Amino acid sequence: MKLYNDDGYLNIPDIVDSATYIFMVLARGTGKTFGALKYAVDSGEKFIYMRRTQTQADMIRTDEMSPFVSLNRELGDDYLFRLKPVAKNVTGVYRKRMDGENEILTLTGYIMALSTISNVRGFDTSDCSLLIYDEFIGEKHEKPIRNEGMAFMNALETIGRNRELEGRLPLKVLCMANSNDLASPLFIELGLVRHAERMLRKGIETMKIPERDIMLIIAKHSPISSKKAQTSLYRMAGDSAFTQMALENSFSLEFTEMVKSVSLREYRPLVQVGEICIYQHKSKLLYYVTDHISGSPDRYGSSEIDVRRFANNYFYLRLSYFNRHIYFESFILQVLFERYFKLSIV
| Domain coordinates in residue numbering, the chain | 12-246, 264-340
Output 147 or 54, whichever has higher pLDDT. 54
Q: Tell whether the model's pLDDT for residue 167 goes beyond 90.
A: yes
Output 330 or 171, whichever has higher pLDDT. 171
**Residue 30: which of 200, 224, 184, 160 has the closest Cα?**
224
CATH number for the domain running over 12-246:
3.40.50
pLDDT of residue 235: 58
pLDDT of residue 246: 44
Whether pTM exceeds 0.85: no
Q: What is the pLDDT of residues 226-252, one digit of tens each?
A: 555 565 655 565 655 554 444 444 554
pLDDT of residue 249: 47
pLDDT of residue 256: 57
pLDDT of residue 304: 80
pLDDT interval class at 269 (50, 70, 90): very high
pLDDT interval class at 346 (50, 70, 90): very low
pLDDT interval class at 194 (50, 70, 90): confident
Q: What is the pLDDT of residues 289-334, one digit of tens each?
A: 999 999 999 999 988 888 889 999 999 999 999 999 999 998 778 8
Q: Tell whether the model's pLDDT for residue 81 goes beyond 60.
A: yes
Q: Report yes or no: 274 and 342 within 8 Å, Cβ to Cβ.
A: no
pLDDT of residue 214: 98
pLDDT of residue 316: 95
Average pLDDT, the chain: 85
pLDDT of residue 233: 53
User: Stretch 172-187: mean pLDDT, rounded?
Assistant: 86
User: Stretch 36-45: mean pLDDT, rounded?
Assistant: 91
pLDDT of residue 114: 96
The size of the chain, in residues, is: 346
User: Stretch 281-289: mean pLDDT, rounded?
Assistant: 96
pLDDT of residue 245: 45
Of the listed ranges 157-166, 168-177, 282-291, the one predicted with least confidence:
157-166
Q: How would you write the chain as a 3-class SS string?
A: CCCECCCCCECHHHHHCCCCEEEEECCCCCCHHHHHHHHHHHHCCCEEEEECCHHHHHHHCCCCCCHHHHHHHHHHHHHCEEEEEEECCEEEEEEEEEECCEEEEEEEEEEEEHHHHHHHCCCCCCCCCEEEEECCCCCCCCCCCCCHHHHHHHHHHHHHCCCHHHCCCCCEEEEEECCCCCCCHHHHHHCCHHHHHHHHHHCCCEEEEHHHCEEEEECCCCHHHHHHCCCHHHHHHCCCHHHHHHCCCCCCCCCCCCECCCCHHHEEEEEEECCEEEEEECCCCCEEEECCCCCCCEEECCCHHHHHHHHHHCCHHHHHHHCCCEEECCHHHHHHHHHHCCCCCC
Rounded Cα gap, residues 179 and 156, in angstroms: 23
